[in-house]
Structure 1
Amino acid sequence: MWDYAKLSAEAAKLGGPAALRTAYKRAGRTKGLEKGLAIGLWAGRTQGVVVTAGVAYAGNALYKTLRARSVANAEPTPQSSEETPEPGEGIDPTGAAPS
């Protein structure tokens, strides 16, 4: 059977040349949507991974920066016995308030 004869037979099954064109367009759109969806999902996942990694990196860098600032600005801890109270000093074992 010739190609034209095959097309004519297929068009006759579908109801004419207009129906054949509509069926081909519909099949092409469906195939394009399936392919586009697959590509879109892949691209979306890739972008999600990149964004997640970027946010994690930026958050870690911000944490380190703020942590370094707070350590640099912290009050120094007492190092000598003059600044540090002796053990038991300032504590009344009877629970009475100092006068």
Structure 2
Amino acid sequence: MADVEAERRSAASMGPVIVHCSAGLGRTGCFIATTIGCRQLQLEGVVDVLSITCQLRADRGGMIQTGEQYEFVHHALSLFEARLSTETGP
């Protein structure tokens, strides 16, 4: 995600990032949910993975297809939150 964001910022135009896996649901949903969650953590200091997932599924049914993918999003956001904590310090 950091590589995609860095590339987006350095591009000549700041258009949207387009993400798509084979069905556009599982891995795509994980990437989008993690991106949204990271932004929430940066701006608000908290994240609501269930709310993000519900909104994604309202927009496109079936996003984040498996329990393992949902757990992955939680884990990725946990790692990102830990990184934010070390960068900002106590």
- Name the larger-Rg structure: 1
- Report TM bin, short chain: under 0.3
Higher relative contact order (CA 8 A, sep 6+): 2
TM-score normalised to structure 1 length: 0.26
TM-score normalised to structure 2 length: 0.28
